[in-house]
Amino acid sequence: MVPRFALTRGQVAWTVCRGQTPEQSVLDQLRYLKQIGIPFAGGAQEKGRGNRVTYSFYDLMDVAVAFEALRRNVPARLLKHLVERRTVIRKAYRDCFKGIPEVAYADRRALKARHQTTLYQHDFYISFEGRFSSRPGDTQIVDPNHLSSEALEDLLDQLMNGSNTTTIALTPLMIPMVVYAEKAPYTPTGPKL
């Protein structure tokens, strides 16, 4: 079972900044992502003026993957493929979360090490085709449970060494997001006094 989060926009911003106060550019990116349907497609969370929008575990991971893709220079217009493949990608989030041992969230040294972008053989991956490929922005989900170790190694080698793809490992992204989301301070909405 995945964590049951009901995060505010401010808590999500704090979480994707890994415990730092978000800069205005982060808030602007969050606003832009919302416009293209990340994490909410077609106004799914819009309840009317004055109602708070909350972010679930899946919503947080959608935002985290989109921010990581932007950080790795995937053009924002190509992120629409995350919206189109939302059901499949969210299943990968759930399966990845189930495969992470509970102790991984408590180890501070491991948490700091996970800020690196190392790829692991038994992890779930989301790969984005580059803007110059035949299918720009197309996403591929690599599930290690459905491939032999040789096929997985070959595929990861192609993804890592392909000049026109960006590959994001979910485990090293998910662990800090869950840890910071659980610690995220409540940020009141409305005008600052």
Angle, helices 170-183/57-71, rounded to nearest 10 degrees:
120
Whole-angstrom Cα distance, residue 160 to residue 176? 23
Residue 38 has pLDDT above 80, yes or no: yes
Q: Which tens digits make up the pLDDT trace of 64-79?
A: 999 998 888 888 877 8
- For the chain, what are the domain ranges? 9-183
CB atoms within 10 A of CB 164: 12
Out of 5-14, 16-25, 133-142, pick the least confident: 133-142
Question: Where does the pLDDT of residue 45 fall: very low under 50, low under 70, confident under 90, or very high at 90 and above?
Answer: low
What does the pLDDT look like over 101-119, one tens digit per residue? 887 777 665 565 545 544 4
- What global pTM score does this model have? 0.82
